[in-house]
């Protein structure tokens, strides 16, 4: 038996099997076990064969239009491609699985990129927090020093509230350094960058 005869026999066999599964006129018959089908195929000399490039292209085009495969379309495609409708159904099942897998892969890549960017930003922000804490500490030392100089005695002896030294009408413009000016008791602007006194808020 040559290859063509084998395919023909298999096609007939499949057609027979298929019509057991999808009876005409709505009459329902029990599905045959696949093991049984497999054994019959093996007896008929069936060997798994790759679909031709043309068949795959045609199926791909159809898959691009619609991922789902309704019964009439399956039969039409099968007839146009010279395949068994079950082969078309299986191809679509496998294709959907590949498509989903690819989608998941792309979604994973996208989320990973976003995650990496967020991690980087967190690192930068943490470094910034450390830098600002240092800056705040220095500024507090400076304020304390100025307060002591202005009052002629250590701050602790007069008032415990650091904000009290800022309650005067005219702030110490210039005394905080060239780039720093007073906005609010606990909020300062340094070179255009806002920072907050975390200790007092």
Partner DNA sequence: TATATAAACATGTTACATCA
Partner DNA sequence: GTGATGTAACATGTTTATAT
Binding residues for DNA, rule: CB under 7 A, are 21-23, 26, 28-31, 33-35, 37-38, 41, 47-51, 56, 68-71, 86-87, 89-98, 100
How many Å apart are CA 42 and CA 68, to the nearest integer? Answer: 30
Kindly tell me which of 95 and 158 has the beta carbon lying closer to DNA: 95
Q: In angstroms, how far is CA 67 from the centroid of its own chain?
A: 22
Q: How far is the CB of 60 from DNA (least distance, A)?
A: 10
Q: How far is the CB of 110 from DNA (least distance, A)?
A: 19
How many Å apart are CA 133 and CA 57, to the nearest integer? Answer: 63
Cα separation values, 2 from 5, 7, 11, 60, 158, Å: 5, 9, 14, 30, 109
Q: How far is the CB of 55 from DNA (least distance, A)?
A: 8
Kindly tell me which of 25 and 156 has the beta carbon lying closer to DNA: 25
**What letter would DSSP give residue 193?**
E
What is the token pair recorded at 1?
Answer: 């038996």
* Tokens 């020093």 -> residue: 145
Kindly tell me which of 94 and 153 has the beta carbon lying closer to DNA: 94
Kindly tell me which of 98 and 112 has the beta carbon lying closer to DNA: 98
- CA dihedral 127→133→136→141, nearest 10 degrees, is -130
Kindly tell me which of 72 and 167 has the beta carbon lying closer to DNA: 72
Q: How far is the CB of 121 from DNA (least distance, A)?
A: 33
Q: How far is the CB of 163 from DNA (least distance, A)?
A: 60
**Other CB atoms closer than 10 Å to residue 81's CB: what's the count?**
19
**What letter would DSSP give residue 174?**
T
Q: How far is the CB of 28 from DNA (least distance, A)?
A: 4
Kindly tell me which of 89 and 136 has the beta carbon lying closer to DNA: 89
* Cβ partners under 8 Å of residue 49, min gap 6: 7
């Amino acid at each position: 038996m040559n290859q063509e005869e084998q395919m023909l026999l298999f096609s007939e066999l499949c057609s027979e099997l298929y019509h057991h599964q999808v009876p005409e006129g709505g009459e329902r018959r029990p599905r045959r076990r696949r093991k049984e089908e497999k054994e019959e195929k093996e007896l008929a000399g069936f060997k798994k064969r790759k679909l031709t490039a043309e068949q795959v292209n045609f199926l791909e085009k159809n898959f691009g239009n619609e991922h789902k495969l309704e019964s009439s379309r399956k039969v039409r495609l099968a007839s146009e491609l010279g395949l068994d409708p079950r082969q078309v159904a299986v191809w679509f099942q496998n294709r959907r699985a590949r498509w989903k897998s690819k989608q998941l892969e792309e979604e994973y890549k996208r989320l990973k990129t976003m995650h990496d960017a967020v991690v980087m930003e967190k690192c930068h922000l943490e470094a910034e927090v450390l830098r600002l804490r240092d800056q705040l500490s220095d500024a507090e030392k400076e304020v304390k020093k100025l307060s002591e100089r202005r009052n002629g005695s250590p701050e602790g002896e007069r008032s415990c509230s650091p904000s009290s030294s800022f309650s005067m009408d005219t702030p110490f413009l210039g005394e905080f350094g060239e780039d720093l000016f007073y906005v609010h008791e606990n909020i300062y602007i340094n070179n255009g960058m806002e920072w907050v006194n975390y200790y007092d808020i």
